[in-house]
Structure 1
């Protein structure tokens, strides 16, 4: 009796976890390898030790900005991050971002990782709003955000300078009540 073939395009359950020291080599790729970051995230060379210093300082889990690794049982797929955006003198929201390694893209991992991050932030912080932005041409990330429960709010004109040109972005958000209503 032969075993059923395993579909390797569908990852084992996606999980988020704190950054371990061994993950710093993976994170370094995002600062030194344009192909690792992808077309919409390469902003040029930057300090290759920035994450190592932050990891030594707070394990990349700070009060105003943090990062978790996106993993399955046997693979590290990339990371999710969030940072505080002050919206008035007495309030803030979180903005989130994600970057997956090239071999993890297009497999639904980003959608699930962003769902899990939303759930985590609403469970462990008092924020009522989580937002995410992406370039207007990054259709894959827009689909992932929509599948993760985010609502498109609008276009931000000339918001990002990348590869010699100003680029328009799209802003998405999800509110606490929406996420709770949808079981996210």
Structure 2
């Protein structure tokens, strides 16, 4: 298998995101929230290439092929935002590339990136209670399950529970080599 890496988003990636994540099959049951305005993606790319002080996104590449994206954003501060904010991460893999370990590798690279380049101490992730695959990924990366956020996500015409996971900087074992392009 070609090597998984992360790189800054480019114009061509936006079209792929539109194509792959604008349907139930493309987004997956756990991440399909209906159609959304993708014009904001182009505006954000022009504004700051998705590298901001409060959030960001990178393309996931398998060799030279874009296969998804990772995101991070400032999440609920567990106190004052200027001292207690944490990152929340998310991953989206195009349907044809799921189940190959790419998401695990991409999230590992994203965690390395965030802990290397930003001083935040906590990264968290939420996943649908029925998304066993992502729960296994988070466990394998060293995240700790903190609990259930009850009926917190509206999707598919119903409220769904989310599981909250966290990873602290001093718990993280960085990769030996970075795969950022």
TM-score (norm 1): 0.89
Partners of 1:161 and 1:23 lie apart in 2 by 27
For 2:86 and 2:38, locate their aligned partners in 1 and report how far apart those are by CA, in whole Å.
29
Larger Rg: 1
Match of 1:82 in 2: 72
Q: Is the 8 A contact 2:20 2:95 kept in 1?
A: no
4+ residue segments displaced more than 6 Å: none
Greater relative contact order: 1 or 2 (C-alpha under 8 angstroms, separation 6 or more)? 2
1:44 paired with 2:18, answer no
Q: Which runs of 5+ in 1 are unaligned?
A: 1-10
For residue 41 of structure 1, give the secondary structure of its aligned residue in structure 2. Answer: coil
Q: What residue is the counterpart of 1:5 in the other structure?
A: none
Unaligned runs of 5+ in 2: 176-181
TM normalised by structure 2 equals: 0.90
Q: What's the CA shift string for 1:110-158, capped at 9, x where partnerless?
A: 1111111111100000010000000100001111111122111111110
Q: 1:18 maps to which residue?
A: 8
Task: Quote the RMSD (CA, aligned, Å).
Answer: 1.3
Residues 1:169 and 2:159 aligned together: no
Aligned partner of 2:44 in structure 1 is 54
- Is the partner of 1:177 in helix, strand or coil? helix
| Cα shift at 1:30 | 4.9
Q: How many residues are paired up?
A: 172
Contact 2:23 2:34 in 1 (8 A): no
Correspondence 1:84-103 to 2 at 5 A: 84-85=74-75, 86-89=77-80, 90-103=83-96
